[in-house]
Amino acid sequence: MKLIKASAILTLVDIISIKLNKKDLEDKHSGKTRLPAVVTVGDELVLGERGNENSRWMSEWLKQNFHPAGIQLSLPDDGDTIAQWLKELLKGGHFPILVAGGIGGTHDDCTRAGIAQALGVPLTRHPECWEILVARYDGREMN
């Protein structure tokens, strides 16, 4: 099972190139259908200070191109909280789990750390993805 990170850096359409297939929704052990989960991260979302367009867009995309989301969550900017809820979604059998920030990646973003914690893996830089990002954003001012 993969946990997918979507943000202002890469669009969901870029990331969905993993070729989601509806037969992936069937839990091999129980035979039950797994449902996608949409998670958005940001204090500004939880506090209602900003509209949650990422959640709406991802849910609409899933409905039109794959399978309707089974759950949507908005979580605060806290790595431990992110990890806790992602573990619950994984235990609940959700697939895929799409994660996006409210305003995209920032220098103090804790989303990646929360995802890594939930999966029990270290944060590492993927060379191929890094090259894509450099090519796409070279020359732009980033925070």
State the SS3 of 77-102. Answer: CCHHHHHHHHHHHHHCCCCCEEEEEC
Structure tokens at 74: 């908005």
Mean pLDDT value of segment 89-104: 81
Question: 133: which 2 tokens?
Answer: 């990002």
Q: Give the model's confidence band at 15: pLDDT under 50 very low, under 70 low, under 90 confident, else very high.
A: very low
Q: Report pTM.
A: 0.75
Which domain, by its residues, includes 69?
Answer: 3-137
Q: Indicate whether 42 pLDDT > 60.
A: yes
Give the residue, 121 or 19, on which the prediction is more confident.
121
- Residue 142 in domain: no
Domain-located, residue 120: yes
What does the pLDDT look like over 19-35, one tens digit per residue?
Answer: 566 777 777 777 778 88
Which one is predicted more confidently, 32 or 112?
112
Q: Domains in the chain: how many in total?
A: 1
- Is 81 part of any domain? yes
For 26-60, letters b (16+ CB in 10 Å) and e give: eeeeeeeebbbbbbbbbebbbeeeeebebbeebbe
Q: Does residue 66 contact residue 36 with C-beta atoms inside 8 Å?
A: yes
* CATH code, 133: 3.40.980.10
The answer to whether residue 143 is domain-embedded is no
